[in-house]
């Protein structure tokens, strides 16, 4: 009973972790799309003065740094999630003691991902969102 309870709790934690991963990935795609649309409008609007061009380049660069970190975290998260799923799928072949250890290891990885990685990823996406919003507002005001 204890092992089954641990398995259910670990699987639920992994489901929660995956839901957060998917949500944050959709947010990243959305913000990147908004940024790309704004840049396309900027380029299509013609010649711009040096100050305006510098502002746009600055915002794009800041967003790119946040995006690069988000993408790095996504890769790490994808690998960790896949390993956890594999470990859970193979636990039936293990002894009860090894199953308990596997469940504890998977729960540790998933809970750390939810507590730390997702919090950092959300913060980075907040930075990306801010930079995209600033960029979009500036472009909408100046690309007319």
Q: For residues 123 and 132, give the distance between their C-alpha atoms in angstroms, rounded to a whole number.
A: 14
Q: Are 31 and 132 in contact (CB under 8 A)?
A: yes
> What pLDDT, in 10s, does the model give residues 82-132?
999 999 999 989 999 999 999 999 999 999 988 888 889 999 999 999 999
- Phi first, then psi, for residue 46 (nearest 5°) are 100, -155
- Phi first, then psi, for residue 48 (nearest 5°) are -130, 150
Tokens representing 88? 């859970």
Look at residue 66 in the predicted model and tell me its pLDDT.
Answer: 95
Check pLDDT > 70 for residue 144. no
Q: For residues 34 and 21, give the distance between their C-alpha atoms in angstroms, rounded to a whole number.
A: 20
Q: Are 108 and 14 in contact (CB under 8 A)?
A: no
Look at residue 69 in the predicted model and tell me its pLDDT.
Answer: 95
**pTM assigned to the model:** 0.85
Q: For residues 120 and 5, give the distance between their C-alpha atoms in angstroms, rounded to a whole number.
A: 30
Q: Are 31 and 129 in contact (CB under 8 A)?
A: yes
DSSP state of 94: S
């Amino acid at each position: 009973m204890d092992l089954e309870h641990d398995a259910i709790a670990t699987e639920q934690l992994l489901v929660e972790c995956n839901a957060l991963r998917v949500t944050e990935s959709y947010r990243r795609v959305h913000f990147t799309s908004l940024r790309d649309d704004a840049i396309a409008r900027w380029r299509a609007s013609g010649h711009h003065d040096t100050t305006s061009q510098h502002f746009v380049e600055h915002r794009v660069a800041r967003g790119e740094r946040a995006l690069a970190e988000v993408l790095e975290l996504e890769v790490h998260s994808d690998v960790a999630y896949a390993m956890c799923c594999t470990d859970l799928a193979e636990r039936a072949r293990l002894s009860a003691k090894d199953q308990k250890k596997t469940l504890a290891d998977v729960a540790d990885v998933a809970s750390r991902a939810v507590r730390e990685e997702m919090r950092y990823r959300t913060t980075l996406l907040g930075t990306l969102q801010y930079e995209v919003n600033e960029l979009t507002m500036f472009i909408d005001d100046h690309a007319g």
